[in-house]
A and B are shown apart, each in its own frame.
Chain A
């Protein structure tokens, strides 16, 4: 290396050349984004023609080659709701415990670690567990309840993670102010922490809903069916679901080509549901993070 600095013109050219070079990194990203847009457009182009009010509100007819996907929409919404009934209370309570009460000892570390590990367990393993525990051992049979509980177990870690994050974002001064006024710990949390953490928790729940709606593996052996004319009438009913319907229409139906447009339609409806919940969650997250009144 020379001790005198390089001539100014040469340096300028080097920086110019390398800033071009840096944007080469944009090629893979651009390709990826372009692909996402292409896939989205392809699905919509092929499926939009099928979407109509009748498609959304009618059950499948004529051997599922005509009609709509109403039972699938209802089934998906119901089973997701059942899963939330279980996972939201347990999840939020766990998150409160972990961020407010848990002492920094070995047991807490184990609990935290295992909850985080749960998030990485493949969905089919949850399905396996659901069959063994809910369908067989607890004798719930093939039902919305069994599928809902299985899905609830699956989205529990996601809810805990986002809720904990939201609660931890509240500065300590909030709690301290309440405690200084003589409240109990629980009262401090209830009045001075939870209301402010609520938007963050809600965001987490919405994201979990979006992911749960698209899952097939956990419901595969715990309650979903290929076809049932009636809407689920009780917690022990079988049900149809959007992701499974897409799967069967594209791989198991006998007139695969005839129902292909219906499959595209199902794919779009499912995507719209998922993206809607995701979109609302993101918009929510953006708004609450930008208006962080307590970031002094």
Chain B
């Protein structure tokens, strides 16, 4: 928008009043400063996390943090700051969520993109987007009052506050993301692909699964990554239904603790300036890096998909 030939000509002809020119310069300065501020925020967050997080390692050996299998900062004896149970809690619940959400989500996206048209498509997409906007506390509340007793009764386990419940809720929360990003990815595939397949006598099913889906695979992968990021970063819903025991789970019905809920649960009680306080920032660094990583990969994948069709 800023480098058309006409713009160059306009730039070279000074406007008549100096105040207008000044206003123009001021505008650039203000807008440029705003966007710099926005970018600096990201840097600021990382900086603060690092600043506080690394102070953990004055007292806690970094290997112990990264590979320790017990997280117990308020232990009766020596405090333990092992990341593994929390990392496993986050990853396992996200894994369960994705195992459910990927097939359901991609299948739905294929239907929405390849078959539904007009107002039906718009309505369904709107419904999905509306659901994406449900506050996570509401979903956590639902998991607490409906899913937990259901799981307890159906599987004959003592409590419904466990890994399975968390996984189910996270599946619900990442489904809308997976559906809408997958739909976008499928829509980007040029129609000529489909037309060629139909011309050769392929059925809609075959076209979708053998032609369109593989063509959109980078975008679908991006959808999965974004769904993963959403699930890993979820705090409130998980805190209400996961049972919150920081141990390594041995079954779907064991309680778990995720990185996010650990930060939320322990931030208030840790004394400012203690190793416990700083260790929560260290957890924040881990979370930040995971989220950043998945987002960057997803972006690259989307770009790659778009590029693969423009030749």
Considering only residues 38-95 of chain A, those with a C-beta below 8 Å from chain B are: 39, 42-43, 89-91, 93-95
Q: Which of B35, B107, B129, B131 contacts A282 (CB 8 A)?
A: B129
**A119 CA to B226 CA, complexed, in Å:** 11
Considering only residues 153-212 of chain B, those with a C-beta below 8 Å from chain A are: 172, 175, 201, 203-206, 208
Any B CB within 8 A of the CB of A198: no
Any B CB within 8 A of the CB of A103: yes
Contact B205 A21, beta carbon cutoff 8 Å:
yes
Contact A102 B295, beta carbon cutoff 8 Å:
no
Q: Give every chain A residue within 8 A of B126 (Cβ-Cβ).
A: 282
Q: Give every chain B residue within 8 A of A244 (Cβ-Cβ).
A: 137
Contact B267 A131, beta carbon cutoff 8 Å:
yes
Q: Give every chain B residue within 8 A of A90 (Cβ-Cβ).
A: 34, 37-38
Q: Which of A28, A122, A286 has the most CB of B within 10 A?
A: A122
Any B CB within 8 A of the CB of A221: yes
Contact A124 B133, beta carbon cutoff 8 Å:
no
Q: Which of A32, A127, A156, A221 contacts B41 (CB 8 A)?
A: A156
Q: Give every chain A residue within 8 A of B67 (Cβ-Cβ).
A: none
Q: Which of A90, A95, A186 has the most CB of B within 10 A?
A: A186
Considering only residues 15-34 of chain B, those with a C-beta below 8 Å from chain A are: 15-16, 20-21, 23-24, 27-28, 30-34
Give the interface size bracket for B toward A: 35 or more
Q: Which of B15, B20, B31, B206 contacts A101 (CB 8 A)?
A: B31
**A251 CA to B272 CA, complexed, in Å:** 26
Contact B229 A29, beta carbon cutoff 8 Å:
no
Q: Give every chain A residue within 8 A of B21 (Cβ-Cβ).
A: 184
Contact A122 B234, beta carbon cutoff 8 Å:
yes
Q: Which A-chain residue is minimally distant from B30 (CB atoms)?
A: A93
**A116 CA to B291 CA, complexed, in Å:** 12
Which stretch from B5-13, B57-65, B80-88, B91-99 is at the chain A interface? B5-13
**A22 CA to B233 CA, complexed, in Å:** 34
Q: Which A-chain residue is minimally distant from B53 (CB atoms)?
A: A128
**A267 CA to B44 CA, complexed, in Å:** 34
Any B CB within 8 A of the CB of A230: no
Q: How far is the CB of B238 from chain A (nearest CB, A)?
A: 10
Contact A123 B235, beta carbon cutoff 8 Å:
yes
Asked if A214 meets B34 with Cβ closer than 8 Å, knowing A22-B204, A42-B142, A183-B15, the reply is no
Q: Give every chain B residue within 8 A of A11 (Cβ-Cβ).
A: 201
**A156 CA to B122 CA, complexed, in Å:** 27
Considering only residues 210-238 of chain B, those with a C-beta below 8 Å from chain A are: 226, 229, 232-236
Contact B205 A103, beta carbon cutoff 8 Å:
no
Contact A250 B295, beta carbon cutoff 8 Å:
no
9 contacts between A and B (CB under 8 A): A22-B203, A32-B175, A36-B127, A90-B37, A93-B34, A100-B2, A115-B35, A182-B10, A182-B15
